[in-house]
Amino acid sequence: MGKKSSPKPPDYAAAAAEQAQASKEVTEQQSWANRPDQFTPFGSQTWANQMFWDPATKQNINRWTQTTKLNQQSQDALDSQMAIGKGRSDVAKGLLGRVQEEYGELVDWDNFAPKGRGLAPNQYTPEQIQRSVDFSGASAMPEVGRVRDRAEQAMYERGAARLDPQYAEQEDAMRTRLLNQGFQAGDAGFEREMRKFNERKSDDYANLRRDAIAMGGDEAARQFGMGLQGRQQGIQELMNQAQFGNTAAQQVLAQQMGLGAARFGEQQQASAYQNQLRQQDIAETLQQRGWTLNEINAILSGQQIGMPSMPGFQNANRAEGLQALSAADMQWGADMDRSNFDQAALQGLMSGVGSIAGPMMMASDRRLKQKIQRIGTLLSGLPLYAFEYIWGEKGVGVMAQECLEVFPEAVYEHSSGYLMVNYGVIE
pLDDT in tens, 352-405: 433 333 446 788 999 999 999 999 999 889 999 999 999 899 999 999 999 999
Q: Which residue has the higher pLDDT, 350 or 286?
A: 286
What mean pLDDT comes out for the span 14-35? Answer: 75
Answer yes or no: is pLDDT of 322 > 90: no
pLDDT recorded at residue 274: 79
What mean pLDDT comes out for the span 278-288? Answer: 80
pLDDT recorded at residue 338: 66
Residue 366: DSSP 8-state: G
Rounded CA separation 103/355 (Å):
113
Rounded CA separation 113/173 (Å):
124
- Distance (Å) of CA 24 to CA 259, 320, 321, 327: 98, 11, 8, 18
Indicate the SS3 state at residue 361. strand
pLDDT recorded at residue 119: 60
- pLDDT band with cut points at 50, 70 and 90 for residue 1: very low
pLDDT recorded at residue 2: 37
Answer yes or no: is pLDDT of 420 > 90: yes
Rounded CA separation 205/395 (Å):
180
Summarised one tens digit per residue, pLDDT across range 140-197 is: 767 778 878 888 888 888 888 988 998 899 888 988 988 888 888 888 888 898 898 8
Rounded CA separation 113/213 (Å):
96
* Averaged confidence pLDDT in the chain: 78
pLDDT recorded at residue 365: 95
Q: Which residue has the higher pLDDT, 5 or 208?
A: 208
Q: What is the pTM (predicted TM-score) of this model? A: 0.34
Q: Which of 209-218, 237-246, 277-286 has the highest mean pLDDT?
A: 209-218
Indicate the SS3 state at residue 180. helix
pLDDT recorded at residue 373: 96
- From the number of C-beta atoms within 10 Å of its C-beta (0-12, 13-18, 19+), residue 343 rates as middle
Answer yes or no: is pLDDT of 229 > 50: yes
Residues contacting residue 296 through CB under 8 Å, at least 6 positions apart = 92, 95, 96, 99
pLDDT recorded at residue 351: 47
Q: Which residue has the higher pLDDT, 346 or 241?
A: 241
Residues contacting residue 164 through CB under 8 Å, at least 6 positions apart = none
The alpha helices in 45-143, defined as continuous H runs, are 72-94, 96-104
Summarised one tens digit per residue, pLDDT across range 98-107 is: 777 777 777 7
What mean pLDDT comes out for the span 80-107? Answer: 78
- pLDDT band with cut points at 50, 70 and 90 for residue 307: low
Residues contacting residue 46 through CB under 8 Å, at least 6 positions apart = 37, 38, 66, 67, 69
Q: Which residue has the higher pLDDT, 415 or 126?
A: 415
67-71, 200-204, 238-242, 419-423: segment of lowest average pLDDT: 238-242
Rounded CA separation 199/204 (Å):
9
Which amino acid, one-letter code, is at 157?
A: E
Q: Which of 88-92, 121-125, 336-340, 393-397 has the highest mean pLDDT?
A: 393-397
pLDDT recorded at residue 145: 83
- From the number of C-beta atoms within 10 Å of its C-beta (0-12, 13-18, 19+), residue 162 rates as exposed
Rounded CA separation 374/385 (Å):
4
- From the number of C-beta atoms within 10 Å of its C-beta (0-12, 13-18, 19+), residue 142 rates as middle
Q: Which residue has the higher pLDDT, 238 or 354?
A: 238
Rounded CA separation 126/116 (Å):
30
44-48, 71-75, 338-342: segment of lowest average pLDDT: 338-342
pLDDT recorded at residue 333: 74
Buried b / exposed e over 347-356, threshold 16 CB at 10 Å, is: ebbeeeeeee
What mean pLDDT comes out for the span 120-125? Answer: 64
- pLDDT band with cut points at 50, 70 and 90 for residue 60: confident
